[in-house]
Chain A
């Protein structure tokens, strides 16, 4: 028996639409649940006070600050390295075996799962370098983890800068570095910023690599050698050990909202970049 192709066509269209809507609705459902269950417990006090009784009462202030410190410090270290790599690959060399090897390295770093970063950070920073479970160990581990994202996006952004701009700059007598800093980088800034924000998102949502390098102390880290908790780790411990479901949902809400905001900002800047050159 053969079905009427027109009928099949309509049927398939419907089925695919259903699949698309189903997928979107699962993902929307997740955000929705977190909002519904978490919103009731979000108060200024929750954001700005210290946890008591392992997080059963009180707020998540140290976890929020811990997250900010980890994200900002690791990105501050990864950005110069990553953008530097991208500049080298695009402006200072031609395609060669060397650049292929470097790109291979970047791709491989990007593919390594976060638990391996956790293992590595634990053995290298925490134990071998004797940094202990600390903000510093966490920062260095996350720095390596986000490096590939920054390199890739920066490379794409720099490549998208029209060749003419460079030629004009050179013809005005600018050196290579002057061209890079005064012409190429400003034009590529939105793209680079996108990569930075995506990396911040990754640092904020990471658990496995952080818990083994930064530890899970509930105190506010006041130095680089102090241990601390990020929101993701705090949420994991609250939820998993059943300490307090209300606080867990509320923490999840803060976490998800901040990540969504970071990602939206990243898309906004990316669209600005695309808008400029197309």
Chain B
């Protein structure tokens, strides 16, 4: 009905009316909404870069990225050890979490009965919602003393951090690789079985390769979660500034460096934390690009 009304009124004041019509206003509002996320992304980047980049000019990119000493109140802004540590724990988390998660996803998609799937999948995804601080706290209470008691060192270590992060990324990896395993057409499996392959041979030679890109994407998204995790890492990593030389040494990641010192920082010290943020953002963006690339290939291929 509204439309007829609108056309009739349009006959005497068509341009102005059409511009101020409800439909047009609504469309404008929706455009504004749609652009809001781009706007937010822009101001986030603008402010993080705006605060972080000047220090790169002032001190020099090399001195920050490859510098070994972090003493921002005394004029040393090297974050190389933290970059290395971030990569180390991320890799460690993957070593802990990926095989377990992939095994779990494979079992769920290939072996589990319908009922088991219906129960396990949501259960695992529910657990993805457990706050990261809870993981970190339980890591401090259970994993850290265990390492200190039986393996030595202070317990706050790469090993503890990797274990906690490895557990945290399980739900992410399981959920995404499960989806990609399920999207392999059943005809692939049937054809392989019909040719006399056993179930495992089918999985190993047909299903997993077919789902390869999705599985890789899940690993990378898991890595993204591990790199970006902050509070749980502060709790179990020990936060020492040196590049860890053994699995039992404490370490500090890019994220925990920001969170440890942000509240206290002023002047160049604060800018240095934003520079840390810039480096972190770049690492995350690269990971996301790679993951998207793989997911896209999966869709087209």
Residue of B110, B224, B228, B262 touching A212 (CB-CB under 8 A): B262
CB-CB under 8 A from A259, the residues of chain B are: 129-131
Q: Which residues of chain B in 237-270 are interfacial with respect to chain A, using CB atoms and an 8 Å cutoff?
A: 255, 258-259, 262-263
Interface centre among A88, A232, A248, A259, by most chain B C-beta atoms within 10 angstroms, is: A88
Q: Are A27 and B124 in contact (CB under 8 A)?
A: yes
Question: Residue B299 at the A interface, CB < 8 A?
Answer: no
Question: What distance in Å separates the Cβ of A166 from its nearest Cβ neighbour in chain B?
Answer: 15
Query: Which residues of the other chain, B, contact A120 by a CB distance below 8 angstroms?
Result: 43-44, 47-48
Is the CB of B34 closer than 8 A to any CB of chain A? yes
Residues of B260-288 whose CB lies within 8 A of A: 262-263, 273-274, 277, 280-281, 284-285, 287-288
Instruction: Verify B130–A108 contact, CB threshold 8 A.
Output: no
Contact of A8 among B200, B263, B287 (CB under 8 A): B200
Q: Across the A-B interface, how many residue pairs have beta carbons closer than 8 Å?
A: 241
Q: Knowing A12-B200, A175-B3, say if A112 contacts B44 (CB, 8 Å).
A: yes
Is residue A31 within 8 Å, beta carbon to beta carbon, of the partner chain?
yes
Closest to A249 in B: B137
The answer to whether A6 and B198 touch across the interface, beta carbons within 8 angstroms, is: yes
Q: How far is the CB of A235 from chain B (nearest CB, A)?
A: 6
| In contact, A263 and B198 (Cβ under 8 angstroms) | no
Q: Does A173 contact B (CB under 8 A)?
A: yes
Contacts A23-B170, A26-B170 given; does A267 touch B262 at CB 8 Å: no
Distance of B270 from chain A, by nearest CB (Å): 8
- Residues from 1 to 35 in A contacting B, C-beta threshold 8 Å: 5-6, 8-9, 12-13, 15-17, 19-20, 22-24, 26-27, 30-31, 33-34
Closest-CB distance, B198 to chain A (whole angstroms): 5
Interface residues of A in 92-139 (CB under 8 A from B): 92, 101-102, 105-109, 111-120, 122-124, 128
The count of residues in chain A whose C-beta lies closer than 8 Å to any C-beta of chain B is 83
CB-based nearest B residue for A12: B200
Q: List the B side residues contacting A87 at CB < 8 Å.
A: 30
Known: A16-B106, A175-B23, A259-B131. A23 touches B124 (CB 8 A): yes
Give Cα A119–Cα B281 distance, bound, in whole angstroms: 11
* Residue B41, interface by CB 8 Å: yes
Partner of A116, one of B1, B137, B281: B281
Which chain A residues in 189-238 approach chain B with CB under 8 Å? Answer: 201, 204-208, 211-212, 232, 235-236
Question: A30 touches which one: B2, B47, B135 (CB < 8 A)?
Answer: B135
Interface string of B19-53 (1 = CB under 8 A from A): 00011001101111111111011011001100100
Known contacts A12-B200, A113-B280; decide if A119 and B138 are in contact (CB<8 Å): no
Which residue of chain B has its CB nearest to the CB of A17?
B107
Q: With A108-B41, A109-B41, A259-B131 known to touch, is A123 a contact of B201 (CB < 8 Å)?
A: no
B145 to chain A, nearest CB (A): 14
Q: Does B218 interact with chain A (Cβ within 8 Å)? A: no
Of the 9-residue stretches B10-18, B65-73, B96-104, which lies at the interface with chain A? B96-104
Task: Decide if B29 touches A84 in the complex (CB within 8 Å).
Answer: yes
Does A239 touch B at the CB level, under 8 Å? yes
Please tell me if the beta carbons of A30 and B138 are within 8 angstroms of each other in the complex: yes
Indicate whether A111 sits within 8 Å of B170 (C-beta atoms), given known contacts A105-B37, A252-B134, A267-B126: no
User: Is A144's CB within 8 Å of the partner chain B?
Assistant: yes
Partner of B259, one of A115, A177, A204, A232: A115
> Are A177 and B131 within 8 A (Cβ)?
no
Which chain B residue shows the least CB distance to A124? Answer: B47
Complex CA distance for A13 and B198, rounded to whole angstroms: 11
B3 and A20 contacting across the interface, CB-CB below 8 Å:
no
The digit string for B101-120, where 1 denotes a CB below 8 A from any CB of A, is 10110111011100000001
Point out the residues of chain B lying under 8 angstroms from A177, CB to CB. Answer: 22-23, 26
- A6, B200: Cα distance in complex, Å: 9
Q: Least Cβ distance of B218 to chain A in Å?
A: 14
Tell me if A272 is interfacial: C-beta within 8 Å of chain B: no
Task: Judge whether B1 and A30 touch: CB under 8 Å.
Answer: no
- Which residues of the partner chain A approach B146 to less than 8 Å between Cβ atoms? none
The verdict on B167 contacting chain A, using a C-beta distance below 8 Å, is yes
Closest to B122 in A: A267
User: Given the known A-B contacts A177-B23, A205-B129, A264-B126, are A27 and B34 also in contact in the complex, defined by CB atoms under 8 Å?
Assistant: no
6 tightest A-B contacts by CB? A113-B228, A84-B33, A19-B103, A205-B131, A16-B107, A88-B30
B-to-A contact residues, CB < 8 Å: 1-4, 6, 22-23, 26-27, 29-38, 40-41, 43-44, 47-48, 51, 99-101, 103-104, 106-108, 110-112, 120, 122-127, 129-135, 137-138, 140, 167, 170-171, 174, 198-201, 203, 224, 227-231, 234-235, 255, 258-259, 262-263, 273-274, 277, 280-281, 284-285, 287-288, 292
A-B contact pairs, 21 of them (CB 8 A): A9-B200, A17-B111, A23-B124, A23-B170, A30-B130, A81-B37, A84-B29, A106-B37, A109-B44, A112-B281, A113-B228, A113-B229, A114-B230, A118-B262, A122-B262, A144-B40, A175-B6, A205-B131, A248-B137, A255-B134, A260-B126
